[in-house]
Structure 1
Amino acid sequence: MKPTNPKALPCAIFGHNFERSKTYMDHTSELICRHCEAVVVTDSHGNFENHTVVNSQIADTLQQLYRLTRHFPK
């Protein structure tokens, strides 16, 4: 595996060095690698799931919609 980013070289050799960045109410966590800044999310069973840009855009949009519905009561 040839890394395209020089910051990702330690991850290619030794593996990722994840640190917890967020913890959610449903007992899932968001982890970010200290070297290459790769983002993964743990599910409720502790399994890793890749967190893609599309998923984060959907989550941000849903969060904005939720805030709008709370801001304007029926």
Structure 2
Amino acid sequence: MEKTITKPALIPNLICNVFGHNFEVSKKVTFHVKEYQCSHCKKQMTTNSNGNLTDLTPKYKEINSILERIYNHKMLRLQEKSLISTIS
């Protein structure tokens, strides 16, 4: 029986505990709201209503999903409106 050696999850957490998280934008929900993920430990965060980072819980995932759908619909309507006004 072969044993495989896997990288323990302790090391990325240790790096984050010592040096802090290295958050990178993983998704742009709107112009102001983004989702972030740590490149080391994969912790996910998002911006809340005050603009501060908060844990990306299932509740915030749902909120961001709905907000993204509304934002995209609004942008589509604005593009159509500007296209119509350019033609007229």
TM range (shorter): 0.5 to 0.7
Percent identity between the two aligned chains: 35
Instruction: Write out the 4+ residue segments of structure 1 that deviate beyond 3 Å after TM superposition.
Output: none
The root-mean-square deviation of aligned C-alpha atoms, in Å, is: 2.8
For 2:28, which of 20, 23, 26 is the aligned residue? 23
Count of aligned pairs? 58
Correspondence 1:33 to 2:46: no
Separation of aligned partners in 2, 1:23 and 1:45: 17
Unpaired stretches in structure 2, ≥5 consecutive residues = 1-8, 70-88
- Give the alignment's TM-score, normalised by structure 1: 0.60
- Give the alignment's TM-score, normalised by structure 2: 0.52
Report the equivalent of 1:70: none
SS state at 1:55 partner: helix
Unpaired stretches in structure 1, ≥5 consecutive residues = 67-74
